[in-house]
Amino acid sequence: MATVRYSNKQAAKRVGRVDRDMLDATTEAAIEQQRLKDEEDGEFDLKNARVVVAPDYVSSVRKKLGMTQSEFADRFHLSRRTVQEWEQGRAVPDQPSIVLLRVIAHAPKVVEKALNNATISRSGLGFGLARGRQSKTTSVVAKGKR
C-alpha cells in the first residue's frame, strides 16, 4: 500500500466521509430498527467480539490515581514503554491487561499489595522476595520447613 503524505494545509482542506446532516437527522427509532435488521441478518454476532480499551481509559485510570506514567508502570509492574504506547494509541492492551487495568481502577491498593507479595519467575508465579522484602513464605522455604 502506498503512503500518501499531506501538508497540514492540505489535511485541513480534506473533508471526512461522514455525512453530518444525515447523522444529525438519524433518530433513535431508526437506529433501533437498523439494529433489529442486523440481528435478523446475522450480522449482530457477539461470539467473536472482544473488549477494546480506548487510549483515554488507560490515562484516566492513571490520572485518577494521581500518578505519572513512570510511577504507574513501576507501581503495577508494567513496562513504562507499554503504558506510553497504550496511552498514545500505538498499542492496544490484550485481554489480561484489560482485566488488570479494570481491577486497578476499582481496587488499586489490592493490586499493589498482591504484586508486592508475589514475584514472577520463568517457572510461573511464586511467592518470595519482592521489591527487596522477604516474605514469610521465603523464610520458611529457606529454612527447609516447607
CATH number of the structural domain spanning residue 95 = 1.10.260.40
SS3 call for 7: coil
Those residues whose C-beta lies under 8 Å from the C-beta of residue 129, and which sit 6 or more positions away, are: 119, 135, 138
Per-residue pLDDT of the chain (146 residues; tens, 9 = 90+): 567 777 777 777 776 677 778 888 888 898 888 888 877 776 666 666 667 778 789 999 999 999 999 999 999 999 999 999 999 988 989 889 999 999 999 999 999 999 887 655 544 555 444 444 444 444 334 444 44
Q: Is residue 129 included in any domain, yes or no?
A: yes
Q: Is residue 93 included in any domain, yes or no?
A: yes
Q: Is residue 64 included in any domain, yes or no?
A: yes
CA distance 141 to 118: 15
Q: Is residue 50 included in any domain, yes or no?
A: no
What does the DSSP assignment read for 15-53?
--S--HHHHHH--HHHHHHHHHHHHHTT----TT-----
Q: Are residues 99 and 129 in the same domain?
A: no
Q: Is residue 99 included in any domain, yes or no?
A: yes
Domain containing 84 equals 55-106
Q: Is residue 85 included in any domain, yes or no?
A: yes
Domain count, the chain: 2
Place of cell 438519524: 26
